[in-house]
Structure 1
Amino acid sequence: MKRFAVQDHELVPEHILLTPEEAQQVLMQYGVEARHLPKIHVTDPVAREIGARVGDIIKIKRKSPTAKESIFYRLVID
């Protein structure tokens, strides 16, 4: 039986797990601490699918009718 990939669904935006270096760069760029980012639970289906762990930062790329693409960041929590 073929397993369904959550990210393959057209309504699920692209989720990218950042490396520690990329995460640090994002935090410095926006002048925030990781705890100030919006949260996503480690049990979220997409977070589990991409292998996210507590403390990781996920970059979410959403399609936007006005800006073509919007970028959001989420901190993985338990």
Structure 2
Amino acid sequence: MPEEFQVGRHVLVPKHEILPKDKVEELLDRYKITLHQLPLIKSSDPAVREIGGKPGDVIKIIRNSPTAGKAVAYRYVVEG
């Protein structure tokens, strides 16, 4: 029986993690924004499902960047 594919282990998929609630507040205060001003990501996204993301969570995405070293993006999880 072949092993189940884990999307988070693929070399082209950046690291996804659920941001703790206290860090979400810091993020929103830092940028003076609301949750609904963050870019959206669906709860059906394979990377979000793999880490257990639910609607209402904020996902931190860490990509390798040739110019910046690491590039961080945040997404608000919505139903979908």
Which TM class, normalised by the smaller chain length? Answer: over 0.9
State the TM-score, normalized to the length of structure 2: 0.93
**CA shift digits 1:25-52 (9 cap, x unpaired):** 1111111101000000000001100000
Instruction: Measure, in 1, the Cα distance between the counterparts of 2:16 and 2:41.
Output: 11
Give unpaired runs (5+ residues) of structure 1: none
Please show how residues 11-30 of structure 1 align to structure 2 within 5 Å.
11-30=12-31
Alignment root-mean-square deviation, CA: 0.8
Letter of the 2:28 counterpart: L
What percentage of aligned pairs have identical amino acids? Answer: 41
Runs of 4 or more above 3 Å deviation: none
Instruction: Report the Cα offset of residue 2 of structure 1.
Output: 1.6
Aligned length: 78
Determine the C-alpha separation between the residues in 2 that align with 1:30 and 1:62.
20
CA distance in 2, matches of 1:16, 1:30: 20
